[in-house]
Structure 1
Amino acid sequence: MNQMLQFSNVHMYYDHVYALKGVSLTVNEGETVALIGANGAGKSSILRAITGLNRIRQGEIHYLGERLDGTPADEIVRRGIAMVPEGRRVFPLMTVAENLALGAFTRTDKGEIAESLDRVMTRFPRLKERYNQAAGTMSGGEQQMLVIGRALMSRPKLLLLDEPSLGVAPKLVQDIARSIVAINRDEKVSVLLVEQNSRMALRISQRAYALSTGEVALSGDSADLIHDDRVKTLYLGGEL
């Protein structure tokens, strides 16, 4: 596999909080990589570093062979990286249609936007049903589908997902998990998934990194980590 994203000894601070302490990781083209760990472990900080929302203090981030850290956030989107932030963050007074249209604001291939919209509607039929409905009136799970769909409208090469199952009903969590697998498999989008639901994350990813207080504690193939006693004890709450 070709390497898409490379973190090399990345350090990052929030004021005086040491958020990332020399993190190194990779995401290859065509794979889903999970980041698991407790609150405050540094998972979301990695996404913020990639998207330029927080500057790194030390180290380097490369994307498709080019230096990424220091790049303006809007240019990062144009280069093919889309992020679905924690907490959904729809535009509540705007319709589903209007929210999705905003996802394509950086695109210049206007003739192909309708095709992307059709794919999103096929991927998430509930959005088609609620196309002209105000986003703020939908359930949490439906809003999560909307923000994933909105990110897909930018036609990303790399999709960053921050806690997509948080606050979502169990039935819709399964639907979202299946959608992530399908997006990776069918649309050839690489995925970096931050998720506290470690069981789900390990089952739908190919590789994973387990973080602890800003450092990588464990890493490897997800199929191996899900049976690792250390992962079971620290992140899965005992036996599966």
Structure 2
Amino acid sequence: MSQILDFRNVDLFYDHVHALRDVSLSVNEGETVALIGANGAGKSSILRAITGLRKIRKGEIFYAGQRIDGKDPADLVKSGIAMVPEGRRVFPYMSVKDNLLMGAFTRTDKADIARTLESVLTRFPRLKERYTQAAGTMSGGEQQMMVIGRALMAKPRLLLLDEPSLGIAPKLVQDIARSIVAINRDEKVSVLLVEQNSRMALRISQRAYALTTGSVALSGNSAELLADDRVRALYLGGEL
């Protein structure tokens, strides 16, 4: 299985704060990989490094065999990397339709954009019901569906998801989890999932990395990590 993402020995700083310390991880083609850990562990910093939103101090990042650290974020979107940021970041006064179309800003193929839009609305029928509604008037779960749909409008090969369950009602968390599985399975999109809901993340991913204070503490098969006593104690609320 070929790697779509190879994140090698990366160090990242915020001023004098050492946010990532010699972190290495990978995502294979067609795979969902979870990053779990507490707030401040470095999960979101990994996504910012991949997308070029933060410059790395040391290491290398490869996407589809090409080195990408130091590249412009807009060029990375064109190459097939899309990110759903933490906190949703909708355009609140724009309609659902216009929010979705913003995700296709790097594309010029109008007919194909229309097909992608129809596919997104089929995957998230709630968005079709809210199509002309201002995005800011929707519930948090509906907004989360919309920003995932907006990312899909870019036709990504690699989808980065930053805390998609944060602040979402439990019923909609299940819907969003199912949609992530379906996107990976049906559209063959590789997924790197950052999630504090560790149990959910481990259940819908094939592999996972557990981070603590900017370093990888554990990694392996998600099902095995879900049953690991160390993971249960540190990330799933269990006891040793």
TM over 0.5: yes
The CA deviation at 1:34 is 0.1
What is the CA–CA distance in structure 1 between the aligned matches of 2:102 and 2:3, rounded to whole Å? 29
The CA deviation at 1:135 is 0.1
1:226 paired residue number: 226
Letter in 1 for 2:77: V
The CA deviation at 1:192 is 0.1
The CA deviation at 1:60 is 0.2
The CA deviation at 1:118 is 0.7
SS at match of 1:177: helix
2:194 corresponds to 1:200: no
1:212 paired residue number: 212
1:96 paired residue number: 96
1:123 paired residue number: 123
- Matches for 1:29-40 after TM superposition, within 5 Å: 29-40=29-40
The CA deviation at 1:81 is 0.2
Post-superposition CA distance 1:102-130 (Å, at most 9, x none): 00010122220111001100110000000
Letter in 2 for 1:228: D
The CA deviation at 1:173 is 0.1
1:154 paired residue number: 154
SS at match of 2:104: coil
SS at match of 1:226: helix
Letter in 1 for 2:93: L
Letter in 2 for 1:160: L
SS at match of 2:173: helix
1:8 paired residue number: 8
What is the CA–CA distance in structure 1 between the aligned matches of 2:225 and 2:11, rounded to whole Å? 25
1:27 paired residue number: 27
Letter in 1 for 2:169: A
What is the CA–CA distance in structure 2 between the aligned matches of 1:19 and 1:33, rounded to whole Å? 20
1:143 paired residue number: 143
| Moved segments of 4+, more than 2 Å | none
SS at match of 1:192: strand
What is the CA–CA distance in structure 2 between the aligned matches of 1:16 and 1:85, rounded to whole Å? 24
1:164 paired residue number: 164
What is the CA–CA distance in structure 1 between the aligned matches of 2:8 and 2:211, rounded to whole Å? 15
2:49 corresponds to 1:49: yes
The CA deviation at 1:99 is 0.2
1:187 paired residue number: 187
What is the CA–CA distance in structure 2 between the aligned matches of 1:38 and 1:203, rounded to whole Å? 18
What is the CA–CA distance in structure 2 between the aligned matches of 1:19 and 1:107, rounded to whole Å? 34
SS at match of 2:18: strand
What is the CA–CA distance in structure 1 between the aligned matches of 2:50 and 2:8, rounded to whole Å? 12
SS at match of 1:93: coil
Post-superposition CA distance 1:8-31 (Å, at most 9, x none): 100000011100000000000000
